[in-house]
């Protein structure tokens, strides 16, 4: 018989302490995407991934969203080359939209904020192409804005990446016409807009923003000095034969300071938040030089209150090594030094943690359904952090409201799986009890169950657990833990979730 108290005891008190902990700040974004702060640290993703043409050949996987969140980032910037996926009537293909929906869903479940950046800047740069660009850009925003009008505030729109060339002369008109389309269906959605000439900081003064619209974020991109950051770049004839260019002299560091001070002065004058939407140095610059420049830009932006999005996760300027399936540690450390230098001390406290196939943090929970709200609260048992889910009455179906947490690890047929969460009903009634289904299930229709069971919640913070054997195999990033709360009808408090594979506790 699967005994939840025995499992919890054998996993050790250290595990309980870790499960209810997490950084004291508990991530400024709160529980998933439902409690938002300003953008802080992010990364550009999926601009040049096969996922848009053939999802079976995708490099980027849903599990990478959680890896990005766990790596110290709070947002991602989707680089959307959407024009190629429009028909003759400028309608986006159903498959392209389905892929976008799936990525948005994965990002929200990981607790990330998501920037939908229309990235067809090259198609708008030539005089002959500009009329069709304007038509297609408006068609894009009519479709995408309407599709995501009900999305959480975590979803942010960016009208067009790096307007340049022929678009420069009419950029403020293009900005206004597309912002008007967005505001028809998304009156309070955050929208990112940047200046002409490749989102140049020197062109911020040319940007014309509606004074009354305070849900706008101004952006600029920074690759200065270009001979350093783009040395050896095959797509730029000016720099493709360059090599051995260094960075870091006193004059170069002073240039960085003055450039970002210029942006700060504009932001203060216009009372607009700032996103440094792209920055990075190509691999040909050499690792030591890249690290120095990347760290200097990131810290300088943060010192002035700017959010930033590094270019980019994969492809080139790489932050994540797809072959090694992990961070390029020097670049990751330059961007998020506290994450890169954090010692994995917690894992050494309990051998059970070596068998985890999920990330045991409160922030991995994503709660869906109408009539619920969430907030992080102290856990009475340990003084640490749990997630409180307020429920406004019971729903007709158990699945109408649920808490979901993603698994990153793969599952093979025959694997023995164990799930443990500390939970309680938030009530003064000492006799209160409620039963809820808990399961591991595939994260897409038909939501096939891997293992399942029922758990009983009381007014005491106690372990709830299920266990079982997988009847088939599942790839990493395709399975979620789900706790169905639709018929509970009263507030519930949840710790971080733990999912273990093939763990054999030893008696103590």
Tens digit of each residue's pLDDT (9 = 90 or more) over 173-215: 999 999 999 999 999 999 999 999 999 999 999 999 999 999 9
CA 160 to CA 176: how far, in whole Å?
12
Pairing of strands 492-494, 385-391: antiparallel
Bridge partners (DSSP) listed for residue 126: none
DSSP state of 507: P
Three-class HEC string of 164-204: CHHHHHHHHHHHHHHHHHHHHHCCCCCEEECCHHHHCHHHH
pLDDT of residue 299: 94
Average pLDDT, the chain: 87
Find which of 12-21, 76-85, 477-486 is predicted with most confidence, using mean pLDDT: 76-85
pLDDT over 60 at 344, yes or no: no
Bigger pLDDT: 141 vs 507 = 141
pLDDT above 90 for 463: no
Helix axes 130-147, 171-185, angle to 10 degrees: 20
pLDDT at 391: 87
Under a CB-based contact definition with an 8 Å cutoff, are residues 33 and 369 in contact? no
Q: Copy the structure tokens of residue 98.
A: 């389905």
Strand-by-strand arrangement of the 449-458 sheet: 366-368, 402-406, 479-484, 433-442, 449-458
CA distance 165 to 234: 21
* pLDDT for 37: 60
Lowest mean pLDDT among 7-16, 348-357, 449-458, 463-472: 7-16
Yes or no: say if 62 and 477 are a contact pair by the CB < 8 Å rule. Answer: yes
Distance (Å, rounded) from C-alpha 44 to C-alpha 56?
21
Provide mean pLDDT across the span 127-144: 98
pLDDT digits over 142-154, tens only? 999 999 999 999 9
Averaged pLDDT, 343-350: 44
Output DSSP code: residue 206. Answer: G
Q: Which two tokens stand for residue 366?
A: 């994503």
Q: What is the pLDDT of residue 505?
A: 57
3-state class (DSSP) for residue 356 = strand
The pLDDT value given to residue 415 = 92
Number of Cβ within a 10 Å radius of residue 299: 13
The pLDDT of residue 14 is above 60 = no
| DSSP reduced 3-state for 441 | strand
- Tokens representing 335 are 């961007």
Are 74 and 29 in contact, with CB atoms under 8 Å apart? yes
Average pLDDT over residues 221-240: 95
Percent pLDDT > 70 in the chain is: 88
CA 91, CA 85: separation in Å to the nearest integer? 8
pLDDT band per the 50, 70, 90 thresholds, residue 380: low
Highest mean pLDDT among 23-27, 29-33, 161-165 belongs to 161-165
Per-residue pLDDT at 465 exceeds 50:
yes
pLDDT at 408: 86
Most confident of 181-185, 388-392, 463-467, 490-494: 181-185
Among the listed ranges 5-19, 249-263, 385-399, 434-448, which one has the minimum average pLDDT value? 5-19
List the one residue out of 445, 437, 422 whose CA is nearest residue 481.
437
Distance CA 486, CA 398 (A): 4
Tell me the Cα Rg of the chain: 24
- C-alpha to C-alpha distance for 432 and 493, rounded to whole angstroms: 14
Q: Is a pLDDT exceeding 70 seen at residue 491?
A: yes
- Give the pLDDT band (50/70/90) at residue 355: confident
- pLDDT digit string, tens, across residues 398-452: 888 999 999 888 899 999 999 988 888 988 888 889 999 999 999 888 888 999 9
Res. 349: pLDDT tops 70 = no
Phi, psi for 214 (deg, rounded to 5): -100, 15
Answer yes or no: is pLDDT of 332 > 50.
yes
Over residues 351-364, mean pLDDT = 82
The pTM is what?
0.64
Q: Tell me what pLDDT residue 353 has.
A: 74
């Amino acid at each position: 018989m699967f005994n939840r108290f025995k499992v919890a005891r054998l996993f050790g008190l250290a595990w309980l302490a870790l499960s209810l902990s997490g950084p004291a700040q508990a991530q400024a974004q709160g529980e998933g995407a439902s409690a938002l702060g300003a953008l802080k640290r992010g990364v550009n993703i999926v601009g040049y991934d096969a996922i848009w043409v053939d999802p079976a050949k995708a490099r980027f996987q849903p599990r990478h969203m959680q890896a990005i969140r766990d790596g110290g980032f709070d947002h991602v910037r989707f680089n959307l080359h959407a024009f190629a996926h429009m028909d003759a009537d400028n309608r986006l293909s159903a498959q392209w939209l389905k892929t976008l929906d799936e990525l948005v869903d994965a990002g929200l479940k990981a607790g990330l904020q998501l920037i939908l950046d229309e990235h067809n800047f090259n198609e708008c740069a030539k005089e002959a192409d500009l009329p069709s660009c304007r038509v297609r850009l408006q068609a894009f925003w009519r479709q995408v804005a309407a599709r995501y009008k009900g999305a959480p505030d975590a979803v942010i729109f960016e009208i067009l990446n790096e307007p340049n060339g022929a678009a420069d002369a009419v950029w403020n008109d293009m900005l206004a016409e597309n912002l008007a389309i967005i505001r028809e269906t998304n009156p309070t959605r955050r929208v990112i807009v940047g200046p002409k000439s490749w989102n140049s900081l020197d062109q911020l003064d040319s940007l014309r923003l509606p004074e009354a619209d305070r849900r706008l974020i101004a952006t600029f991109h920074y690759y200065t000095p270009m001979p350093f950051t783009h040395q050896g770049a095959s797509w730029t004839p000016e720099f493709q034969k360059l090599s051995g260019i260094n960075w870091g002299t006193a004059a170069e560091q002073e240039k960085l300071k003055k450039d970002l001070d210029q942006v700060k002065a504009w932001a203060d004058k216009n009372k607009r938040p700032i996103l440094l939407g792209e920055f990075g140095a190509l691999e040909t610059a050499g690792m030591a030089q890249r690290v120095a420049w990347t760290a200097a830009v990131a810290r300088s932006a943060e010192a002035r209150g700017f959010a930033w999005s590094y270019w980019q996760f994969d492809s080139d300027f790489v932050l994540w090594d797809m072959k090694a399936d992990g961070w390029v540690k020097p670049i990751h450390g330059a961007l998020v030094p506290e994450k890169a230098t954090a010692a994995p001390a917690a894992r050494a406290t309990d051998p059970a943690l070596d068998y985890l196939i999920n990330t045991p943090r409160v922030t991995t929970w994503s709660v869906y359904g109408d009539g619920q709200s969430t907030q992080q609260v102290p856990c009475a048992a340990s003084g640490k952090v749990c997630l409180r889910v307020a429920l406004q009455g019971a729903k007709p179906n158990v699945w109408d409201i649920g808490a979901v947490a993603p698994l990153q690890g793969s599952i093979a047929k025959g694997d023995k799986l164990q799930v443990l969460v500390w939970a309680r009903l938030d009530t003064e009634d000492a006799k209160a009890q409620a039963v809820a289904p808990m399961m591991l299930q595939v994260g897409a229709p038909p939501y096939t169950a891997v293992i399942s069971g029922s758990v009983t919640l009381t007014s005491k913070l106690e372990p709830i657990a299920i266990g079982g054997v997988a009847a088939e195999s599942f790839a990493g990033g395709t399975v979620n833990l789900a706790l169905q709360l639709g018929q509970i009808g009263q507030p519930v408090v949840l710790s971080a979730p733990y999912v273990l594979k093939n763990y054999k506790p030893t008696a103590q």
